[in-house]
Amino acid sequence: MYSVYLKKGEEKRILNGHSWVYANEVAKIEGKDKNGSLTSVFTHDGRFIGKGYINHLSKILVRIFIRDENQVNDKAFYLERLKNADDFRKNLGYDNCYRMVFAEADDIPALIVDKYDEYLSVQFLSLGIDKMKKLIVECLVDLFAPKGIYERSDVAVRVKEGLTETKGVIYGEVPDRIIITENGLKMAVDVKNGQKTGYFLDQKENRYAARRYCKDGDVLDCFCNSGGFSLNCATVAKSVTAVDVSRTALDSVEENASLNNLTNVRTLQGDVFEVLRNYRKENKVFDLVILDPPAFCKSASEVKDAYRGYKDINVLGMKLVRSGGFLISASCSHYMTLPLFEKMLAESAKESGRRVRQIEIKTQAPDHPALVNAEETSYLKFFVLQVL
């Protein structure tokens, strides 16, 4: 087994609960083992900190997930961790569709497990956890007996780990569409080709919360994806216009609207920035405008450009809200921090010439818990603003 010794003072963040050991924080590595193997991490003076999988190819050298020096990463260990993660969600009332395992927040770094009805969608995002794939699948089958498990490890972060992107059925059989129930609505989820693991589960409570702001009103849902916000709003709104650049996404919206016999949803294909500008030229207004874009910044170097993009759509969005109506604005990038997002909204309000009140602030759903000492796990910002 490798033994990793940190530079003096570098242990503080990790002792406070963070799990990542960066290569530039390490003073020396002793011993010899295979890359991706379990490794012990110590302070500069030899005090044990924890164990995790090592990857010499990654800037994150070790991802710590064991804090007991005598504990090992055998099948009993994974059975316990996976069961504890699922029990937490079930105790919160989740049953049909939810994030079962959220990586570092559940002390299984780089592993994502999402439940969609009787199927599981999984991601193995580091070398170490990828090497444990067979064992983890066995544990998932033993614990939950799913009809099928689909792997969605087709994400760029694996390349940084020296891995290739991959996806496919790794247990049982998985249909092209899985019908889930969320907030009383039926949704067809494409786990094979949909966004992330098939659907954005982290906004489920926020989608339901949007209903209170659009009763009998006209709604514009931008970056609508498969229509989670659109359908929730359509249960109480007069009309919903769902906008996305992807025809595939809009086909999903129409499919999901049909599943729920909702006839007040129309789809519009186009670039959201252009659509908003065209509506502005037409003096079109809505009672609720929803801005839930994909991550505009996936690295710290992109924050400046992303800030301009967020500000652009929020200024336009505010101008399209009928006086007394609402704007919902969200960001799923942890690089766009809460203070920075609030600053952007304040500047947008000023530039739009509208008086704006903050009504509600929410974050990711409780099945996506965040570690208070690991800011990467807290990423979603969700603001409800009233535009006057």
Is residue 277 in a domain?
Answer: yes
pLDDT band at 104 (very low <50, low <70, confident <90, very high): very high
Does one domain contain both 306 and 214?
yes
Is residue 190 in a domain?
Answer: no
Does one domain contain both 28 and 100?
no
Its domain, for residue 95, covers 75-177
Q: How many helices (H) and strands (E) does the chain have?
A: 11, 20
Give the CATH number, domain containing residue 12.
2.30.130.10
Is residue 331 in a domain?
Answer: yes
The pair of structure tokens assigned to 150 is: 């689909």
Q: Is 306 exposed, middle or buried (0-12, 13-18, 19+ CB in 10 A)?
A: buried
Is residue 192 in a domain?
Answer: no
Are 242 and 264 contacting, i.e. CB atoms less than 8 angstroms apart?
A: no
pLDDT band at 259 (very low <50, low <70, confident <90, very high): very high
Q: How far apart, in whole angstroms, are the C-alpha atoms of residue 225 and residue 242?
A: 9
Boundary of a domain, candidates 47, 66, 85: 66
pLDDT band at 297 (very low <50, low <70, confident <90, very high): confident
Give the end-to-end CA distance of the chain in Å, rounded to a whole number.
63
Is residue 165 in a domain?
Answer: yes
Boundary of a domain, candidates 111, 142, 177: 177
Is the pTM above the cut of 0.75? yes
Q: If you write DSSP's letter for every residue of 331-366 in order, what string do you get?
A: E--TTS-HHHHHHHHHHHHHHHT--EEEEEEE-S-T
Is residue 118 in a domain?
Answer: yes
Boundary of a domain, candidates 66, 100, 116: 66
The rounded percent of the chain whose pLDDT value lies above 90 is: 94
Is residue 356 in a domain?
Answer: yes
Does one domain contain both 237 and 367?
yes
Does one domain contain both 146 and 62?
no
> What is the number of structural domains in the chain?
3
Give the CATH number, domain containing residue 139.
3.30.750.80
Residues near 236 by beta carbon (within 8 Å), at least 6 away in sequence:
211, 214, 215, 216
- The residue from 222, 233, 297, 332 that is catalytic is 332
Does one domain contain both 46 and 96?
no
Does one domain contain both 217 and 321?
yes
Is the pLDDT at 43 greater than 90, yes or no? yes
Does one domain contain both 109 and 204?
no
Does one domain contain both 141 and 220?
no
Does one domain contain both 121 and 243?
no
Are 314 and 348 contacting, i.e. CB atoms less than 8 angstroms apart?
A: yes
Is the pLDDT at 374 greater than 90, yes or no? no
297 catalytic? Reply is no
Does one domain contain both 215 and 332?
yes
For 61-80, write each residue's pLDDT tens digit: 999 999 999 999 999 999 99
Does one domain contain both 51 and 163?
no
Does one domain contain both 62 and 93?
no
